[in-house]
Amino acid sequence: FDGWYVGAWPHMFTAVRYVTGLHAGQTLLERPFSCSDYAGFCQLQPLVRAVCPFTCGCHDPLSGLLWTSPAQGCPIKCREGRLQHRRGRPCVDMHTVNMSAWGTYWTTLGDFWTADLANPAQERVVMAFVRRKIAGGCANEELLPFANVSDCDDRNPFFTVNGLSAIVPFCAARCCQGANPPEDCPTTCHPSIASPLR
């Protein structure tokens, strides 16, 4: 899938090079395109996610990727992979301390959230919250400041409008309780509603 664009739209590789600045100006003959070169741009560039979805982790709910929707670059085919990945996973909270994907998720969310804040005090509140979330893992049930939204609620407009993923794959036991669990819950959390893929 990562090489799908080669035959269909080779100009997409050039576009990725220019949008990231990495290897810009070099032709594909001079330097063949490799998605691994652009892995560091996955969180911030929808075009990189579209061209290199496997490298970016669009298919893996535990990749730490903040933006996973088709509108934000992850191909719709990856959604099926994300849903398949949840089958059979235990309904437990992961030990996220020292888990790089957890830290990446929260750091990226903090950077995204503070990018448009003009108030330094609000920025400090958000970044302190992010540090607490990284350190506290799934046990930290604090609501997102200012938005007053649970980090489990992937159907909340804060997540849907921005094309963001929630922490459900990391914190299944905490997030997947109740009669109307989020879509990313492992099927083991609610076996009665587990089939077929929702």
Residues 43-62 pLDDT 10s: 999 999 999 999 999 999 99
DSSP code at position 142: P
For the chain, the structural domain boundaries read 5-56, 100-193
User: Buried b vs exposed e over 61-82: b needs ≥16 C-beta within 10 Å?
Assistant: bbbbbbbbbbebbbbeebbebb
The Cα 137–Cα 155 span in angstroms is: 21
Q: What is the pTM of this model?
A: 0.84
- CA 96 → CA 19, 64, 93, 132, 172, distances in Å? 32, 11, 8, 12, 12
Residues 120-179 pLDDT 10s: 999 999 999 999 999 999 999 999 998 899 999 888 898 888 889 999 999 999 999 888
